Amino acid sequence: MTARSVTTRLGITVAALATLTAAASPALGDDSASGSGGRPPVYKGRVVAKSGLLLRDNPTRGSRVVRSVPYRAVVTIFCKTSGGDVAGNRLWYLLTDGTWAWGSAKYIDNIGAAPRWC
């Protein structure tokens, strides 16, 4: 396993634990849209790849495909990072829909605010 792979997996694990901890803590009010109250904000995006988007276990085109998402699907984005270049775009989004997987930001249009950095 490469150092980058280990670092990415560790980051995913930490993010998952932070999300679970935030979900388990009591709500302090109706602030789900703002992300305040100790919970990370929720970011959304829409898949714009006509043939669907392959999601990967690392933010590179050469990493293992975890699953795919169909064209026009709305996805939940946890954060963004810099990764492998995809048609001039080096941003990748960590998606949290079902499995934690990376999708190229080249093929995901933001709905609302741009995601925070990982």
Q: Sketch the domain layout of the chain as residue ranges.
A: 3-26+40-111
pTM score, whole prediction: 0.70
Question: Per residue in 66-116, pLDDT tens?
Answer: 999 999 999 999 999 999 999 999 999 999 988 899 999 999 999 999 999
* pLDDT reading at 9 higher than 70: no
DSSP codes joined into one string, the chain: --HHHHHHHHHHHHHHHHHHHHHHSPP-SS-TTTT-TTPPPPEEEEE--TT-EEEESSSSTTSPEEEEE-TT-EEEEEEEEEEEEETTEEEEEEE-SSS-EEEEGGGEEEESSPPPB-
Mode of pairing for the β-strands spanning 108-111 and 53-56: unpaired
> 63: closest CA among 94, 102, 90?
102
* Terminal Cα-to-Cα distance of the chain (whole angstroms): 21
* Domain 3-26+40-111, CATH class in plain words: mainly beta
Burial of 47 (0-12, 13-18, 19+ CB in 10 A): buried
What's the whole-number mean pLDDT along residues 6-27?
44
The CA distance from 90 to 15, in Å, is 21
Question: Per residue in 35-55, pLDDT tens?
Answer: 557 777 889 999 999 999 999
